[in-house]
C-alpha cells in the first residue's frame, strides 16, 4: 500500500496556474465568465419591468363631445395607455386586439355626454387583451379608479353635483381571450416555444461537435455529400422529435390545464414547422463554430438567456424599453409566442399570423446561410 503523500503547495500552485492558462486560452469560456453576469445585470436592471406602461390603445369615440375628449385625455394621462389609433367602429378595434396591435380598445358610446349631463351614469366600454394577465392588471386598476377625477374640469357649476361617488360614469370592462385571468392559459402555450427552443437548438448544436470529438467527422468528410445535404440530413430527423414534444405539450395543456384551442390545428402545425426549422438551423450554425460539446452548450445558453427574457414569456413584452423590444423582435421565440397564443386563445387565422411568420422565416434563412458558409469540408 502506497503511503499517503503530504499536501504539496508547489504542486497545487502549478496545477492551478495550468488551469488559469487553459481558461485564458479558451476564449469562449472566458467570454461566458465575463459576459453572462453583465448580460443578466443589463437585462434585469434595465430591460425587465413588471409594470408595463404606454400600452397601445385604440379609441372609438362615437360621442365627440368635450366630455369624451376630456375622458380620453385623462386615460392617457394615467401613463398606462397610449392612443395608437382612432378607428371608426368597434369591428376595426376588435381586429386590432386580435392581431395584437392594441392591448386595449376604449369605446365611448353615442350620447355619452348627454346622458352624463342628465345624471344617468353612462357606461364607458373597455375591451382588454387579457391573454397575459400580468400585462394588463395595473392598467385595468387605473381605469377603474378614474371616476370624477377624469372630468373634474368639466363638471363645474350646475354639473358639480355629478362629481361625488359613485361618479358620473361607470367603466364596463371586458377581458378578452382569458376572461378569468388564468395564468396557465398564458404560460402553458408559451412553454411550447420555450421547450422546443431549448431542446432543438441544443440537440442540433451537438450534431457536428459530437462527431468531431468522437473522431467520426473524418468519415463524414470523406463522403461526396455537399454542405447543404449534410445540414438538411442532420436537421430533418430532429423535426420529428420536435413534433413529438409538441404533441405531448399540447395534450397536457388540454387535459391538465384546460387551455382553450380555438384556432386551426393545421395552421399551428405549419407555424410550428417553420419555428422548428429556424431553431435547427441555428443549432447547426453553432455546431459549425464550436469545437467541443462544452462550447456548443455554452453558446446555446448564451443565446437562450436573452431570448427567454426578451421574448415576453417571463415578463410583459411591452413593459420593456424600446431598445429591449427592438432586440427581442430579432428572436424567433418572440414571434412564435404571439403565434401560438393567438391561434390557441384568440382563434387567429392565417392573415393574423402572417406578420409574425416572416421574421421567423428570415431568421431561419440567415442562420442557414451562416451555417453553409461556416461549414468546412476539411478538419482545419
Last residue of a domain, one of 176, 192, 211: 176
The reported pTM is 0.83
* Same domain, yes or no: 114 and 170: yes
Q: What pLDDT shows up at residue 1? A: 46
pLDDT of residue 377: 52
Choose between 154 and 206: higher pLDDT. 206
CATH of the domain at 101: 3.40.1710.10
Element spanning 60, H or E:
strand 55-61
Domains of the chain: total: 2
Nearest to 306 by CA among 44, 75, 125: 44
Whether 196 and 142 map to the same domain: the answer is no
Percent above pLDDT 90 for the chain: 23
Does residue 201 share a domain with residue 149? no
Same domain, 91 and 222: no
- Domain membership of residue 369 (yes or no) is yes
The pairing of strands 123-129 and 170-176 is parallel
In a domain, 316, yes or no: yes
CA distances to 152, 258, 267, 342 from 263, rounded to whole Å, are 45, 15, 8, 8
Q: Which domain holds residue 370?
A: 184-374
Q: Are residues 329 and 298 in the same domain?
A: yes
Residues 197, 148: one domain? no
Domain assignment present for residue 27? The answer is no
Last residue of a domain, one of 176, 202, 225: 176
294 and 361 together in one domain: yes
Model confidence at 138, pLDDT cuts 50, 70, 90, reads confident
Amino acid at each position: 500500500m502506497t503511503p499517503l503523500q503530504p499536501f504539496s503547495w508547489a504542486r497545487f500552485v502549478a496545477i492551478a496556474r495550468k488551469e488559469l492558462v487553459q481558461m485564458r486560452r479558451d476564449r469562449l469560456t472566458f467570454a461566458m465568465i465575463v459576459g453572462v453576469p453583465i448580460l443578466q445585470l443589463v437585462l434585469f436592471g434595465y430591460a425587465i419591468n413588471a409594470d408595463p406602461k404606454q400600452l397601445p390603445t385604440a379609441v372609438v369615440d362615437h360621442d365627440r363631445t368635450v366630455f369624451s375628449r376630456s375622458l380620453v385625455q385623462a386615460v392617457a394621462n394615467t401613463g398606462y395607455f397610449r392612443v395608437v389609433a382612432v378607428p371608426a367602429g368597434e369591428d376595426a378595434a376588435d381586429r386590432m386586439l386580435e392581431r395584437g396591435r392594441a392591448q386595449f380598445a376604449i369605446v365611448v358610446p353615442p350620447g355619452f355626454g348627454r346622458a352624463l349631463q342628465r345624471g344617468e351614469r353612462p357606461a364607458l366600454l373597455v375591451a382588454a387583451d387579457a391573454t397575459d394577465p400580468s400585462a394588463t392588471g395595473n392598467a385595468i386598476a387605473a381605469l377603474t379608479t378614474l371616476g370624477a377625477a377624469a372630468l373634474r374640469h368639466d363638471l363645474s357649476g350646475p354639473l358639480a353635483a355629478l362629481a361625488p361617488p359613485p361618479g358620473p360614469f361607470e367603466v364596463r370592462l371586458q377581458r378578452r381571450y382569458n376572461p378569468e385571468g388564468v395564468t396557465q392559459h398564458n404560460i402553458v402555450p408559451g412553454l411550447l416555444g420555450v421547450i422546443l427552443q431549448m431542446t432543438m437548438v441544443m440537440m442540433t448544436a451537438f450534431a457536428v461537435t459530437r462527431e468531431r470529438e468522437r473522431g467520426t467527422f473524418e468519415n463524414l468528410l470523406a463522403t461526396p455529400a455537399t454542405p447543404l445535404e449534410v445540414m438538411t440530413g442532420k436537421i430533418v430527423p430532429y423535426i420529428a422529435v420536435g413534433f413529438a414534444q409538441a404533441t405531448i405539450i399540447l395534450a397536457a395543456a388540454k387535459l391538465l390545464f384546460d387551455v382553450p384551442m380555438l384556432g386551426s390545428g393545421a395552421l399551428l402545425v405549419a407555424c410550428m414547422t417553420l419555428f422548428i426549422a429556424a431553431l435547427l438551423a441555428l443549432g447547426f450554425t453553432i455546431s459549425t463554430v464550436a469545437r467541443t460539446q462544452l462550447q456548443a452548450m455554452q453558446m446555446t445558453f448564451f443565446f437562450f438567456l436573452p431570448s427567454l427574457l426578451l421574448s415576453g414569456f417571463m415578463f410583459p413584452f411591452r413593459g420593456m424599453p424600446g431598445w429591449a423590444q427592438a432586440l427581442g423582435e430579432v428572436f424567433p421565440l418572440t414571434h412564435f409566442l404571439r403565434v401560438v397564443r393567438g391561434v390557441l386563445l384568440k382563434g387567429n387565422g392565417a392573415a393574423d399570423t402572417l406578420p409574425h411568420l416572416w421574421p421567423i422565416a428570415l431568421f431561419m434563412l440567415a442562420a442557414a446561410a451562416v451555417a453553409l458558409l461556416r461549414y468546412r469540408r476539411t478538419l482545419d
